[in-house]
Structure 1
Amino acid sequence: MISANLQKIVDSSVDNNKINHCYLLKTYKGVNLDDNLIYMVNKFTHSSFDNLSEIHDPNIVVIDASKENGRGVKKDEILDLFESSNFSNFTDKQHKIIIFKNIELASNAALNSLLKTIEEPSNNVIFILTTTNPNRLLSTIKSRSFIININKQDTKEIYDFLISHNLNSDFAWFFSHLFKDTSEIKSIERLKQYEKIENVLEIVSNSLKNRYLLAVYLTSMNKRELHDELFFNLVVLKFIFSWNWAKLNLIPPLFRKIATKISNSSIDFKSCLIIIDRYLSLVDTNANLFLQGQKMIIKLMEFYE
């Protein structure tokens, strides 16, 4: 889905011939920006591409610093790319576009090279950067970029999408609060396995009396081959824990009993959310997720006391 905010900015830039040399798209983890990136490319180059994968134009380069979407990008490759942006064989009227996704995950050397490049930009070179963690970027990169905020999809949009795919209304409500964008939803059929969420709810409910039930459950998924399952379950836990502050009348009856128990509990759910967030922020880094997972589970048990 194309952000109305981005569309307005890009259209105005093109119409007034005031295209910036560096754009920074800032959003939330899980939001797919490909539609927005394609829109920018098509507007800047007067093209009609449908998706990034079909672009084979040498003057349009797409790279991704995250491990999740490939092997990552080596430092020398990035440095060469930035250097070559000064010597491209494009005509005076043709733009060269360099899209750098998840820029915050690039090395310091690459970020410093990027800074040098955007400080002295070549004619007709446009950098489009994306980030979900702007705090990790050099302040000088942010100050030299035109920052466009891309908001996550409204929960109502996601709810309607799930209902249109025949999900139970209660679980459609539940999942609409887990995902930030419908593009995050890999399998509708998997979401229809309601017993998995019911199992997590039961574990959370029972852990209010015996905290180690939650520890055993999370530890069972703290393995390399099950880390994706662990990440998803932690997102589920975050949402369930957030019911501690929710208005009960806004929660569907199916989940209201457990929500009441959570609301009446003395557990430090705020600290639980913080420690889970801290762990999830390590997903695309080089951190030892097994060891960090163990530390997270131990901390959660402390907050359960």
Structure 2
Amino acid sequence: MATSIIESSCPSQLKWRKVAYGGMQPGFDDNHTDESFLEYMVMNANVVKRDILKVMLDSVSISQYICIVTLVVLVWAYTLQSTINENSLLLLDVSLLGSGFFVLLLTAEMLYFNLLLNYVLKISFFITGLYVLSPIYHTLTWSISSDSIWALTVSLIILHLFLHDYSGSTVRAPGAPENPTFTSNISSNASIVASLLIASRLPSRLHVFAIVLFSLQVFLFAPLITYCIKKYSFRLHIWLSFGLMVVTLAFAYRFHRVLFVLLLGVLVFVTVVCPYWLIRIQEYKFEINGPWDEAKLCFDITE
């Protein structure tokens, strides 16, 4: 605790100065401050000045993933209505898997043959296990009413969107160690459970296998693919994101007008309103630093 000591420039005048240690000095209170106390005050030293255009471009990643999840929900809805059959779903699964590997090969900085072979083996085991477990998933929720399934699925998708890591900090690049967080694990598990709930309402086991494979490909691997594209070229990321928004809005309009209006409102709110809101409230941010703050120790360790 910083205290004061007394120096005497003349017998009738006492001078206060700040030292690291010491006891209470006669003539001054323990909480005494003099005129020099506020000389080293700094205001808003660590406040980051944000540009609205940069914030809007950064928010595109959020809108992009919202569109991806919306497309997954639309595929679920069309499959439940028997508009998309199991053969079309399997073709979609193969197309997504091939496209994902192609993008990964083009954008990854370091992707060795052994690592690629490891990916192929893991995905093969994953698909095989999923196909073996499809009969179980098919009968998983027979004793639960459909209304409860729809309500739980919607809640899980909202939870998934709310807890998803939009910054990409937990995305594992090829060859990098895993660094999952608690919220990202909850988000992933919520999407998986929602996929299984929807799959349990489909008419055949092949439907179940195809829709679960499609859902898990998107929820588990789409963040990695979009992260690689963004890291490879930010401009390409922006163009693909806006193209994805247009496609998603077109499918939403075709499916239902209310869904189109709701999705359009969410995209405008996330991409335009929220950045503008952030810039405006930045004016009210007030941060004060001074000699009363705790000291930050920095150690320079050299080998």
After TM superposition, is the score higher than 0.5?
A: no
Q: Give the TM-score taking structure 1 as reference length.
A: 0.21
Q: Give the TM-score taking structure 2 as reference length.
A: 0.21
Pick the structure with greater CA Rg: 2
Structure having the larger proportion of residues in helix = 2
> Which structure has more RCO (C-alpha within 8 Å, separation ≥ 6)?
2
